[in-house]
Structures are given as C-alpha cells and as structure tokens.
Amino acid sequence: MKRIRLYVMVVVLALVGMMATQASAQVLRDADFNSIGRINGNGVVRDGTGRSAGSFDADGTVLDVKGTAVGVIKDLEIFNTEGTRIGYISTDGTVHDGESKVLGYISINDGKVTDAEKKTIGFARGVRVDWIACYYFFHFFDK
C-alpha cells in the first residue's frame, strides 16, 4: 500500500511540474488569435516556430536573438541603448512613445493589445505589460 501511495505521489508531482513549466510560458497572439510567439517566466522570447527571438534580463536589459542589448526597461519606461527614453506605459496600460504620443493600449484584465485607434493587434494574457509593449509596440524582437 505504501508503494502505491508513493507511486501516485511521484506521478502527481511529475504532472504538476510539467504543468507549471508550461504555465510559465505565455502565448503571444495576433489579432486573429493565432499564436505568433511565447514569453516564458524567465523572459525568454520565442517566435511562432519556437526559435529564440531574444530575452528580457532580470536587470531590465532587453536582448535580441544574438544577445545584443537593444533596450532597457526601468519602472515602466523603455529606453534605447543610448539611454534615450523611447516610450513608457501608464498605470492604466496606455503605451506612449518618447514624446508622450499614444501608441496603443494593453488591457490589464485580459491582455488584449490595441493600437492608438483601438484596433486589436494582439493578445498577451499573463505577460508583464512592459514586455508586451516591447514586443508589440517597440518591435525589439522583429527580425
């Protein structure tokens, strides 16, 4: 009986571990809800084919696929590599460029991403808003 319980516990823990790994990677979607990439909990960005597209470091540095710094995020502000602020995100999810012009919106509730005219351009539920802005509005991971 103890062996069966141990076996069941091992199987359950293995399943939980697999689900936790998958849950930490969030799908990025286009306006038609098609998968166009993923961002995992560690900040690794993958394109629609699963290839690395770049990453977000813990210190806020944004890296392209070659590992070259392309920007920095600090307190919902986004800077280029020269230190010029190229955008920021308001607490309500509004994304602005460096001149305070509205680029679009990120819904905090459902991850819906819309442009300045409120046209849907994508979905990124469960992803940090600054990462969403870098992906959809500042195009740090475009090829």
pLDDT tens-place string over residues 33-50: 999 999 998 999 999 999
Is the model's pLDDT at 4 over the cut of 90?
Answer: no
pLDDT of residue 25: 74
pLDDT tens, residue by residue, 54-81? 999 999 999 999 999 999 999 999 999 9
If you search the block for the tokens 């509205």, which residue do you land on?
Answer: 102
| pTM given for the model | 0.79
Nearest to 136 by CA among 104, 107, 110: 104
Share of the chain above pLDDT 70, in %: 83
Task: Sort 26 into a burial class: Cβ within 10 Å, 0-12 / 13-18 / 19+.
Answer: buried
pLDDT of residue 142: 82
Two tokens at 94? Answer: 């509004």
Q: Would you give the DSSP letter of residue 100?
A: S
Nearest to 56 by CA among 36, 74, 29, 83: 74
pLDDT of residue 95: 97
Is the model's pLDDT at 17 over the cut of 70?
Answer: no
Is the model's pLDDT at 15 over the cut of 50?
Answer: no
pLDDT of residue 117: 97
Sign for the pseudo-dihedral over CA of 86, 69, 51, 25 = negative
